[in-house]
Amino acid sequence: MTNRHQKKFAEFHEDNPHVYDMFVSFTKQAKQANRKYYSSYAIFERMRWYTDIETDGEPFKLNNNYRPYYARKVMEEYPEFEGFFRIREIKND
């Protein structure tokens, strides 16, 4: 069963796959820095910094409600990241 945040995340991800690619890239950097665990919140803030400060062009908006879905997606698709993000149960609405 999906909730409204999951549905919105799925739509956003379909329209913006580059956001996931960036999330994966910065997650890999955190892992390469010998982090056993890391925060999807910190990854999002790094993404915001990168698009706002380090690059030219329009920064994109990131909905904080999508963080748990990006974290889960990375851990599902990349076995080396299993348990890298501490996650909570997602409640249905």
- Nearest-CA neighbor of 68 among 35, 49, 44? 44
Cβ–Cβ < 8 Å for 5, 66: yes
pLDDT over threshold 60, residue 93 = no
Domain membership flag for residue 68: yes
Cβ–Cβ < 8 Å for 37, 84: yes
What does the pLDDT read at residue 53? 73
Domain membership flag for residue 93: no
pLDDT over threshold 90, residue 1 = no
**pLDDT one-digit tens code per residue, 31-65:** 999 999 999 999 999 998 888 777 766 666 889 99
Entry pTM: 0.87
Cβ–Cβ < 8 Å for 22, 47: yes
Domain hosting residue 40, numbered range: 4-81
Q: Give the chain's domain count.
A: 1
